[in-house]
Amino acid sequence: MERKSSDNKYQHKDFHISQNILMGFIYSSFGADALINYLEQFTIAYHKPLNQKMKQGNIGALLDYCITIYKKEEWPVKITSGENYVEIEQDACPGISHIRAKGGKPCPNYRETYLTIYKTICKGTPFEYIFKYFNDETGACKQLFLRKEGK
Amino acid sequence: MISCTEFIPAYSEGFKFIESMGGRKEVEKFWSELSDLYLTGTLAKLMDEDGLGGCFTYWAHSLNEEAADFTMILDENKGEFTIDMHKCPSKRMLLQLKYMTPYNSYCDHCDALYKPVVERLGYKYESKIDCDNASCRIIIKRT
C-alpha cells in the first residue's frame, strides 16, 4: 500500500481516545490542578497566534477559528456572532461522543478542555469567556465569548 | 474543545508537561500505560487474530486517517511487515508549527508504544528513525 498525504483527509477520531488517556494520566498522577496547568500550557503554546489576534480586538479571528475547527471535526454546531460576541451551542462534544462510542469514559474534569482552554485563549484580550452550561455526560454545552464593556 | 486535528500539539505539550512534573521516567510510564490501554484492544487484538496481517489492518486504518505519506508492505512469505514513513504526519505538523517547540524526544513514543505489544506476541520489532526529517522505517518480523 502506498499513499501520499494528499490522498486522504486528516481526521483520526481515535486521537480523542489518546487525548483522554493522556489527561486521565495527568489527573491521576498529579491531580486536578495539574490537569488545568497542562491545558493552560498547551493553550499558551498552541493558540498563541489566535490569542495575539484577539489581543488586538479581532473577534473575526476567533469566529474563523471556531467555524474551521468544527468543520474539520465534521461536527454539527450552532455558531452565532455579532460585533461583540461569538456564541457556540452544541448538542454533544465530538471527543466525549467518540470516547463513549468506543466504550470508554471521559476522564474527570473533561470539561476543562473547554473551560480552561477558552479562558486561557481570552487572557490579556478584550474578551471574556462565559461557560453557560455543560453536560458532563454528553458534552452538550453553550459557550459565549463576549467583548468586555468599553474594550 | 481539543479537536482530533489538534491532538498532536496537545500530545507533544503533554509529554513536556509530564516530564516537568516527574522526569523522563514518568513520560515512559505514561507511554507504557497508553500502550496497554489503547493498543491491547486494537493492534494486539488484530495481530492475535491475523498475525502480520493484523499489523497491515491496524496501520492501514490509522495512517490513512492521519493522511500520512507512506509505503506499507506485507510480505507473508518472508514473514515481514514494513512501514516506510516518508513523512510522518505528526512530526511534520510539529515541525510546521514554527512558533512551538516540540517535545525533545517526540519520536521515541512510537517505539515505546508499539515495541512492547509486538514483542509480547512473539514478533521482532526494529525501527530506524530520522526525527529531523519526520521519516522512519518500522519492520516487524515473525520469529
Cβ-proximal residues to B34 (8 Å cutoff; 6+ apart), any chain: A18, A21, A22, A25, B113
Measured in angstroms, the CA of B92 and the nearest CA of chain A are apart by 11
Distance of CA A18 to the CA centre of its chain: 16
pLDDT tens-digit map of A53-101:
999 999 999 999 999 999 999 999 999 999 999 999 999 999 999 999 9
Residues of chain A found within 8 Å of residue B69, distances taken between Cβ atoms: 3-5
Number of folded domains that form chain B: 1
ipTM score for this prediction: 0.93
Chain A contact for B10 (CB, 8 A cutoff):
yes
User: Best mutation site among A4, A46, A62 for testing chain B: the one with the most B CBs within 10 Å?
Assistant: A46
Residue with cell 506485507: B74
pLDDT tens-digit map of A115-126:
999 999 999 999
Residues of chain A found within 8 Å of residue B73, distances taken between Cβ atoms: 1
Cβ–Cβ below 8 Å for A48 and B99:
yes
Task: Please tell me the pTM assigned to this model.
Answer: 0.94
Owning domain of residue B57:
4-142
C-alpha cell at B8: 498532536
What's the CA gap between B65 and A100, in Å, rounded?
Answer: 20
Q: In terms of residues, how long is chain B?
A: 143
Sheet holding B69-75, edge to edge: A2-3, B69-75, B80-87, B135-142, B123-130
> Could you tell me whether strands A141-147 and B135-142 are parallel, antiparallel, or unpaired per DSSP bridges?
unpaired
Q: Mean pLDDT over residues B48-73, rounded?
A: 90
pLDDT tens-digit map of B68-121:
888 999 999 999 999 999 999 999 999 999 999 999 999 999 999 999 999 999
| CB distance B71 to B87 below 8 Å | no
Cβ–Cβ below 8 Å for A46 and B63:
no
**Integer distance in angstroms from the first to the last C-alpha of chain A?**
55
Q: What is the CATH number of the domain that holds B131?
A: 3.30.1380
Q: What is the pLDDT of residue A5?
A: 63
String of b and e for B36-55 (b: at least 16 CB within 10 Å)?
Answer: ebbbeebbbebbeeebbebb
What's the CA gap between B7 and B28, in Å, rounded?
Answer: 19
Q: What is the CATH number of domain A13-147?
A: 3.30.1380.20
Residue with cell 528513525: B129
